[in-house]
């Protein structure tokens, strides 16, 4: 394989295989993927894609030492592209041991994983957020209880008031109590670009959560929020400028580079509450591969999706000799 335009490396995941890597290949970048045994049965179904990339096999996704070793064994100059599961199994300590630079740095990933820091950063960005209750005694309205270490909404519950919260939280390790915002959830996808000097609003998705989004939820079944998929959406016209403003504020406040997502609930009176951010590519952007979407394509005048957008920035950085600009570690955030 030959290449002249740069190279990326990442680990196996849904976003990596169906979004980041196709984007890199479309932009003519070399791609390295660390594939865990867990994922090999699926990956091996795609020989046409595999023959275009370098695969490094690692037995277990929980083996942070081995993952670091595998990344550090890559001899070519690569930019490491993080994604959701990557952040879960590579703690900050290990991220710091990587010898290749990480696209967008690591501080934003650390802030994302800490619920208090996550919420504080949104508030400091002048973004409307649900209230947080430090102690159950303070609860004065419906709340959503988030369980420690929950992924994709697993095990969350809603309580109408303090009494219901106390009853439902028995024997559970609740680490976050947030005001319950009634409305429709919308996930806004952004890309903060140092090379084009702008924050791009690239699209929106909505998660399908079971059983909150079931065909029909009988009143005797409590809703649960386990993510099972994503669907694309376009939003109501009047909401677009506010979504753009929020993304621009967040990018300016943090100084972050690359993809991020504001996870929102839009209320019946059209207020946009952001209950969390993700500081990297999110699963919902994969719905746009390979055709792009309304917002991204209008901005770029060509089919554009998140994996391709990341690759475009990396390709440009290699071409213009500006790698330092895309590996900047959110200068406005504190060290981890
Ligand atoms: P991930 O880490 O994959 O983003 P998570 O475990 O952090 O997931 P959240 O994204 O915080 O879970 O929430 C899961 C779902 O719960 C959301 O998609 C949304 O539907 C709902 N939800 C979260 N917070 C609130 C809130 N404050 N009010 C109403 N609904 C909420």
**Domains recognised in the chain with CATH numbers:** 7-110 (3.40.50.20), 114-128+182-300 (3.30.470.20), 132-179 (3.30.1490.20)
**With contact defined as beta carbons under 8 Å apart, do 144 and 109 qualify?**
no
Whose alpha carbon is nearest atom 14 of ligand 1?
Answer: 153
Ligand 1, residues 117, 148, 275: which to mutate, most atoms within 8 A of Cβ?
Answer: 275
Distance CA 46, CA 187 (A): 29
Whose alpha carbon is nearest atom 8 of ligand 1?
Answer: 152
**With contact defined as beta carbons under 8 Å apart, do 6 and 315 qualify?**
yes
What separation in Å is there between the alpha carbon of 153 and the centre of ligand 1?
5
The whole-number pLDDT of residue 3 equals 45
What separation in Å is there between the alpha carbon of 75 and the centre of ligand 1?
40
Any idea what the Cα angle at residue 282 is, between residues 206 and 153, rounded to 5°? 60
The whole-number pLDDT of residue 2 equals 41
> What number does the ligand 1 atom closest to the CA of 130 have?
27
Please list the ranges in the chain whose pLDDT falls under 50.
Answer: 1-3
The whole-number pLDDT of residue 4 equals 59
Whose alpha carbon is nearest atom 23 of ligand 1?
Answer: 275
> What number does the ligand 1 atom closest to the CA of 185 have?
20
Question: DSSP H helical segments within 193-254, as ranges?
Answer: 240-254
What separation in Å is there between the alpha carbon of 236 and the centre of ligand 1?
21
What separation in Å is there between the alpha carbon of 149 and the centre of ligand 1?
13
Distance CA 217, CA 116 (A): 32
Pocket around ligand 1 at a 6 A CB cut-off: 130, 144, 150-153, 156, 178-181, 185, 207, 209, 225, 263, 265, 275-276
The number of angstroms, rounded, from the C-alpha of 18 to the middle of its chain's C-alpha atoms is 15
The whole-number pLDDT of residue 163 equals 97
Whose alpha carbon is nearest atom 12 of ligand 1?
Answer: 153
Predicted TM-score (pTM) of this structure: 0.95
What separation in Å is there between the alpha carbon of 146 and the centre of ligand 1?
8
Q: 258-266 and 184-193 as β-strands: parallel, antiparallel, unpaired?
A: antiparallel
> What number does the ligand 1 atom closest to the CA of 182 have?
29
Question: DSSP H helical segments within 125-229, as ranges?
Answer: 162-168
Question: DSSP H helical segments within the chain, as ranges?
Answer: 14-15, 21-26, 37-43, 47-50, 64-72, 84-89, 92-95, 107-113, 115-124, 162-168, 240-254, 294-300, 306-319, 323-326
> What number does the ligand 1 atom closest to the CA of 156 have?
16
What separation in Å is there between the alpha carbon of 145 and the centre of ligand 1?
10
Whose alpha carbon is nearest atom 4 of ligand 1?
Answer: 152
């Amino acid at each position: 394989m030959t290449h002249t335009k740069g190279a990326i490396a990442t680990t196996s995941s849904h976003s990596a295989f169906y979004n980041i890597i196709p984007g890199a290949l479309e932009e003519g970048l070399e791609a390295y993927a660390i594939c865990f045994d867990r994922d090999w049965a699926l990956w091996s179904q795609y020989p046409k894609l595999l023959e275009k990339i370098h695969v490094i096999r690692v037995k277990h996704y929980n083996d942070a030492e081995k993952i670091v070793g595998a990344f550090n064994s890559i001899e070519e100059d690569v930019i490491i592209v993080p994604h959701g599961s990557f952040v879960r199994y590579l703690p900050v300590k290990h991220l710091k041991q990587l010898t290749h630079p990480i696209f967008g740095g690591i501080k934003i990933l650390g802030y994302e994983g800490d619920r208090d820091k996550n919420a504080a950063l949104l508030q400091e960005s002048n973004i409307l957020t649900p209230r947080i209750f430090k102690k159950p005694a303070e609860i004065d309205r419906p709340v959503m209880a988030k369980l420690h270490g929950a992924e994709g909404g697993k095990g969350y519950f809603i309580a109408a008031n303090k009494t219901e919260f106390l009853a439902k939280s028995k024997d559970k390790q609740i680490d976050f109590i947030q005001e319950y915002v009634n409305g429709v959830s919308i996930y806004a996808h952004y890309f903060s670009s140092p090379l084009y000097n702008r924050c791009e609003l690239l699209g929106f998705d909505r998660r399908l959560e079971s059983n909150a989004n079931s065909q029909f939820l009988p009143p005797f079944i409590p809703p649960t929020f386990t993510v099972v998929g994503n669907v694309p959406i376009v939003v109501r016209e009047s909401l677009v400028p506010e979504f753009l403003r929020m993304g621009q504020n967040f990018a300016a406040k943090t100084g972050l580079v690359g993809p991020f997502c504001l996870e929102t609930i839009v209320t019946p009176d059209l207020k946009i509450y952001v209950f969390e951010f993700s500081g990297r590519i999110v699963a919902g952007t994969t719905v746009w591969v390979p055709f792009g979407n309304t917002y991204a394509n209008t901005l770029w005048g060509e089919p554009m999706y998140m994996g391709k957008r990341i690759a475009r920035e990396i390709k440009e950085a290699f071409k213009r000799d500006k790698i330092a600009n895309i590996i900047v570690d959110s200068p406005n955030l504190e060290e981890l």
